[in-house]
Amino acid sequence: MPRVSTTNGHCSIKKGLADLMDYSKKTIEMAQLIAETCTSCKRCMKDCLFLQQYCEDPQKLFQQFLEEGLDPIVPYSCMLCGHCTVVCPLQLKLDEAFLAMRQDLIKDGLPLKQLKSVEMHQRLSTSKFFSAVNRGDTK
């Protein structure tokens, strides 16, 4: 496993040729649990378009995350619906692992470019200047 360093509860994982990513110890442990425990029964994949598109089975996906890292689009593609946990005979929480990956990416300042417009919308929609209502003259 190409973990480069472990400091302050974070592990650095090489993501392909990109810079080193810092993932929390919690995220790494969740991924290890799934990679080591998943039986590849694929019950979670039956009704999940996300898993069908991004992996052969969750065990291999989380093993890939631990060994090589994942493109940030992968954890952001999970709908976090929890269906995988409900149907998993081992109650593995893939959705929570993907959420933890997202949180770590944000802490590292790496939100997806596609989310920048959402951030701008949130800033402007709460601005008094942009959200003031001009009702006109009611007399």
Question: Tell me: the pLDDT tens digits for 63-113?
Answer: 999 998 888 889 989 999 999 999 999 999 999 999 999 999 888 776 666
Give the whole-angstrom CA distance, residue 47 versus residue 107: 31
pLDDT for residue 90: 98
Nearest to 57 by CA among 46, 73, 70, 71: 46
Secondary-structure breakdown of the chain: helix, strand, coil percentages, each rounded to the nearest 5: 50, 10, 40
Whether 4 shows a pLDDT value over 70: the answer reads no
What type of residue sits at position 16? G
Dihedral of CA 60/62/63/69: which sign?
Answer: positive
Say how many C-beta atoms besides its own lie within 10 A of residue 28's C-beta.
Answer: 22
pTM for the structure as a whole: 0.70
- pLDDT tens per residue across span 17-46: 233 467 899 999 999 999 999 999 999 999
